């Protein structure tokens, strides 16, 4: 059994579904204690049940909170600190896709909603977790960016702006906090089969969305979508001591999609 996270405390936002859930299960099997944050209490309960199956007895705190609200962020950090005394790893991951539209058809409200959760939420998480990590003199953060944070994808003005911002925050804060023994990295996933991607395919065609998924996969160099577990392995590595010299940078996990012409 892998024990890379024995005695370590990891905080995960968006822990109720998809990449957050898969990462929580992976880290639990490696010995981590977990604080899981999500707007969905049901999602958190589902993840806790998966963890109990995969790694019985894991200490898990379920915290219902909205990452775009600073009072909620202060609360999830305080609750984690109260429960476990420290925060060794932070997967700053909660996000939404928002509606797909041409830029001219984006409402300001929709743009602001996507940016509030995907960018402001990541900023607030950094602001309050880094304070704790600086007091400890150690810690590692992985922010969820996206292919849409390093390339143009189309029909996603709010999402693209927010995810490019997440890459900028990662580079900036990594450069700031390396001197304090803290590393900050981002992942740029693309086409991983989670509820978010299913909803995205349904926006294109609510009936034949599986066919849309097949067409989307056929344009990927690997001719398939990624699995949440594949991302969980990357995040676990990036949060572990084995990735101690990776800082202020973005790692793609998209089957090569963002590299092909």
DSSP H/E element including 203: helix 195-204
Q: Which of residues 104-133 bind ligand NAD (CB under 6 A)?
A: 117, 121
User: In the set 12, 16, 130, 133, which binds ligand NAD (CB under 6 A)?
Assistant: 16
- What is the rounded distance in angstroms from the CA atom of residue 83 to the CA atom of residue 196? 30
Q: Is 170 in the site for ligand NAD (CB under 6 A)?
A: no
3-class DSSP assignment, residue 89: strand
| Residue 35, beta-bridge partner list | 11, 61
Which is nearer to ligand NAD, 140 or 144 (by Cβ)?
144
Helix runs in 30-120, H state only:
41-54, 70-84, 108-115
**Which segment (18-26, 170-178, 210-218, 240-248) binds ligand NAD by CB under 6 A?**
18-26
Stretch that binds ligand NAD, among 99-107, 194-202, 215-223, 241-249 (CB under 6 A): 194-202
Cα separation of 4 and 239, whole Å? Answer: 10
Give the Cα separation of 111 and 140 in Å (integer).
30
* Contacting ligand NAD within 25-64 (CB under 6 A): 38-40, 43
- In the bound state with ligand NAD, the residue whose beta carbon lies nearer, of 42 and 135, is 42
Does the footprint of ligand NAD cover residue 194 (CB under 6 A)? yes
The answer to whether residue 94 forms part of the interface with ligand NAD (CB under 6 A) is yes
Determine the Cα–Cα distance for residues 147 and 221; give it in Å rounded to an integer: 14
Nearer to ligand NAD, 32 or 39 (CB): 39
**Residue 165 CB neighbour total at 10 angstroms:** 18
- Token output for 139: 């810690």
Give catalytic status of residue 245 as yes or no.
Answer: no
Question: So which residues are the catalytic ones?
Answer: 159
User: Which positions touch ligand NAD (CB under 6 A)?
Assistant: 13-14, 16-20, 38-40, 43, 66-68, 93-96, 117, 121, 144, 146, 189-192, 194-197
């Amino acid at each position: 059994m892998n024990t890379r996270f024995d005695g370590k405390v990891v905080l995960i936002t968006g822990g109720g579904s998809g990449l957050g859930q898969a990462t929580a299960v992976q880290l639990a099997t490696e010995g981590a204690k977990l604080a899981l944050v999500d707007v969905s209490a049901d999602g958190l309960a589902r993840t806790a049940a998966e963890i109990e199956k995969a790694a019985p007895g894991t200490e898990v705190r379920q915290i219902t909170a909205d990452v775009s609200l600073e009072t909620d962020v202060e609360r999830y950090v305080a609750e984690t600190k109260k429960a476990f005394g420290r925060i060794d790893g932070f997967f700053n991951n909660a996000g939404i896709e928002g509606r797909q539209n041409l830029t001219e058809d984006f409402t300001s409200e929709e743009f602001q909603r996507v940016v509030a959760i995907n960018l402001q939420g990541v900023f607030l998480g950094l602001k309050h977790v880094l304070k704790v990590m600086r007091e400890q003199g150690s810690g590692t953060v992985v922010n969820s960016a996206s292919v849409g944070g390093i390339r143009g994808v189309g029909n996603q003005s709010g999402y693209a702006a927010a995810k490019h911002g997440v890459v900028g925050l990662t580079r900036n804060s990594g450069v700031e906090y390396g001197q304090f023994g803290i590393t900050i990295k981002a992942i740029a996933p693309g086409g991983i089969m989670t509820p978010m991607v299913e909803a995205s395919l349904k926006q294109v065609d609510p009936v034949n969305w599986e066919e849309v998924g097949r067409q989307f996969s056929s344009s990927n160099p690997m001719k398939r979508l990624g699995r949440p577990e594949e991302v969980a392995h990357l995040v676990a590595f990036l949060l572990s001591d084995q990735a101690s010299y990776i800082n202020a940078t973005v790692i793609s996990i998209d089957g090569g999609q963002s590299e092909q012409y």
